[in-house]
Amino acid sequence: MKVKTRGFGKDKKIIKKKKDALGPVRKRFCRFCADKLGSIDYKDIKRLEVFMTEKGKINASRFSGNCAKHQRRIKELINKARFLSLLPYTR
């Protein structure tokens, strides 16, 4: 644990870094690369809804764990499904 001091003379404050309460963070992985799925379809609504929030926003790759290539593809497919009224723009 690192200790930093701030201030001068008698008024020094000691700042301690807190340990992460959640513990070690798991490494996210791309589901499509791991399963080696060849194609993703815009008609597969159940699979696309996993990558959306309750309000209808597309999850970032930080949260979904997708690689950049598959995140771009999912974005295109969700937008296509929205345009064809298979998925809502908002809820």
The residue type at 79: N
Q: Tell whether 7 is covered by a domain.
A: no
Using one digit for the tens of pLDDT, what is the confidence trace for 42-90? 999 998 999 999 999 999 998 888 999 999 999 999 999 999 999 999 8
Domain extent at residue 38 = 23-91
Give a yes or no: residue 60 inside a domain: yes
Residue 2 lies in a domain: no
Residue keyed to tokens 């008609």:
43
H helices within 1-91, ranges in order? 31-35, 45-49, 61-64, 68-83
Which token pair is 77? 């497919």
What are the tens digits of pLDDT across the range 7-52? 555 555 665 656 666 666 677 788 888 887 778 899 999 989 999 9
Q: Global pTM? A: 0.68
Number of structural domains, the chain? Answer: 1
Q: Would strands 13-16 and 3-6 be described as parallel, antiparallel, or unpaired?
A: antiparallel
- Does residue 15 lie within any of the structural domains? no
